[in-house]
């Protein structure tokens, strides 16, 4: 039976790899066309755009993995069915449960790949991509990560711990240096809002180092800088591209400071459910190949599977948006599409018995 498991696994993994490659090639082409508008801004050239696209495709691969798992599994099992190999397996005494177990083993391997992408590779790739693009375009932003955003504006170094929105920042520190690289002042502010083409700092504390250390506190203060919300948007990381641990820590921080955390909670629970959805999608592929669709061609199966995968993606996004707008429970909004697709898969598999 190990030989059978290996044979089925090779067919499915090959199908998933081909499907993922085709989907990523499509997204790469669309992304490249979009990036052509940014080529020429600052030091952002064609080579930088290619590097940015390569890195940004890794988080896209993570998001597309459930669809690739469904379509790739249909392709792999469909190829076996088209050559009569599944029929031969069933005739040799391989039960439906045994076939499902073989598919689930591959599914568990895919779950591991999804976790590796989502928790290790994708966040790092997204951060590197945004850093490369922002530095090339603006020439100012130097780092955006879990410890906040660093920027340089002439003789001023800026640290933003939390980006609430592009025009709303929190926990800002400004370090002002002289031409001789002497620290002149350090300014901290609890919040910053962009209004009327300039930033307004609130709850400000200024420590001046000219002529001895002096501390002053202000309720608010205008902040003149070339760093605007458009530049913030360039470097702001998508919550969907961050790791579960990073999201968990940031959600705790937002809740402790009475800041809305719904968007990040939805992203966190979406990360939790994605590996489960990948496994369910692979189970759903079995009735596509062996059920009422077994009389149609493999290309038609792949087409239907793609439609189902896209439909699930739309349902998932709709559930997330509705949950955010109406303030529904984040775990429920994230798990609802997975529950629906698992019920559909269970129903179709039961009809095969």
**Average of pLDDT values for 100-115?**
91
Give the pLDDT band of residue 353 (cuts 50, 70, 90): low
Q: What is the pLDDT of residue 293?
A: 47
Element (H, E) at 33: helix 2-35
Q: Which residues pair with 175 in a beta bridge?
A: 157, 186
Give the pLDDT band of residue 131 (cuts 50, 70, 90): confident
pLDDT greater than 70 at residue 140 = no
Backbone φ and ψ for 53, nearest 5 degrees, come out as -65, -40
pTM: 0.73
Element (H, E) at 169: strand 168-177
Count, residues in the chain: 353
d(CA 334, CA 231): 31
Give the pLDDT band of residue 204 (cuts 50, 70, 90): very high
Could you state, in order of their start, the residue ranges of all structural domains in the chain?
2-138+239-352, 142-226
For 189, left (φ over 0), alpha (ψ -120 to 50), or beta?
beta
Q: What would the pLDDT profile of 303-341 be if each residue is shown by its tens digit?
A: 877 888 888 888 888 888 888 778 788 888 889 998 998
Q: What is the pLDDT of residue 325?
A: 79
d(CA 185, CA 84): 77
Q: What would the pLDDT profile of 255-294 be if each residue is shown by its tens digit?
A: 775 667 788 888 889 899 999 999 999 888 888 887 654 5
Q: What would the pLDDT profile of 27-50 be if each residue is shown by its tens digit?
A: 999 999 988 888 888 788 899 899
pLDDT greater than 70 at residue 3 = yes
Q: What is the pLDDT of residue 234?
A: 53
Please say whether the beta carbons of 61 and 20 come within 8 A.
yes
**Average of pLDDT values for 89-111?**
86
Question: What's the whole-number average pLDDT of the chain?
Answer: 83
For residue 7, count other CB atoms closer than 10 A to its CB.
14
SS3 92: coil
Q: What is the pLDDT of residue 253?
A: 63
Q: Which DSSP string do the residues of 246-305 spell out, in sequence order? A: HHHHHHHHHHHTT---HHHHHHHHHHHHHHHHHHHHHHHHHHHHHSGGGGS-HHHHHHHH
d(CA 185, CA 163): 23
CA 21: distance to chain centroid?
18
Give the pLDDT band of residue 122 (cuts 50, 70, 90): confident
């Amino acid at each position: 039976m190990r030989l059978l498991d290996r044979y089925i696994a090779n067919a499915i993994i090959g199908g998933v790899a081909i499907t993922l490659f085709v989907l990523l090639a499509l997204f790469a082409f669309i992304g490249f066309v979009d990036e052509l508008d940014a080529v020429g801004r600052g030091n952002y050239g064609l080579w930088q755009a290619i590097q940015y696209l390569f890195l940004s495709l890794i988080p896209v691969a993570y998001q597309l993995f459930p669809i690739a798992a469904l379509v790739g599994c249909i392709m792999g099992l469909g190829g076996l069915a088209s050559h009569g190999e599944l029929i031969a397996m069933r005739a040799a005494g391989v039960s439906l449960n045994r076939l499902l177990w073989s598919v689930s083993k591959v599914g568990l391997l895919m779950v591991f790949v999804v976790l590796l992408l989502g928790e290790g590779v994708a966040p790092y790739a997204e951060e590197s991509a945004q850093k490369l693009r922002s530095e090339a375009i603006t020439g100012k932003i130097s780092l955006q990560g879990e410890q906040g955003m660093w920027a340089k504006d002439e003789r001023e170094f800026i640290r933003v711990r939390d980006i609430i929105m592009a025009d709303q920042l929190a926990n800002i520190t400004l370090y002002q240096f002289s031409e001789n690289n002497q620290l002149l002042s350090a300014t901290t502010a609890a919040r910053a809002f962009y209004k009327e083409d300039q930033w307004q700092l609130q709850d400000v504390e200024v420590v001046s180092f000219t002529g001895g250390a002096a501390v002053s506190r202000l309720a608010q203060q205008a902040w003149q800088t070339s760093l605007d919300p458009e530049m913030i948007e360039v470097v702001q990381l998508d919550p969907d591209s961050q790791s579960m641990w990073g999201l968990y820590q940031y959600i705790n921080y937002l809740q402790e400071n009475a800041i809305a955390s719904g968007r990040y909670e939805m992203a966190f629970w979406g990360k939790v459910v994605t590996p489960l959805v990948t496994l369910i999608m692979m189970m759903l592929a079995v009735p596509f190949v062996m059920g009422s669709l077994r009389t149609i061609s493999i290309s038609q199966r792949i087409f239907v599977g793609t439609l189902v995968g896209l439909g699930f993606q739309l349902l998932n996004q709709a559930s997330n948006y509705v949950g955010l707008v109406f303030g529904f429970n984040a775990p429920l909004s994230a798990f609802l599409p997975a529950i629906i697709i698992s019920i559909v898969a269970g129903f179709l598999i039961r009809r095969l018995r």
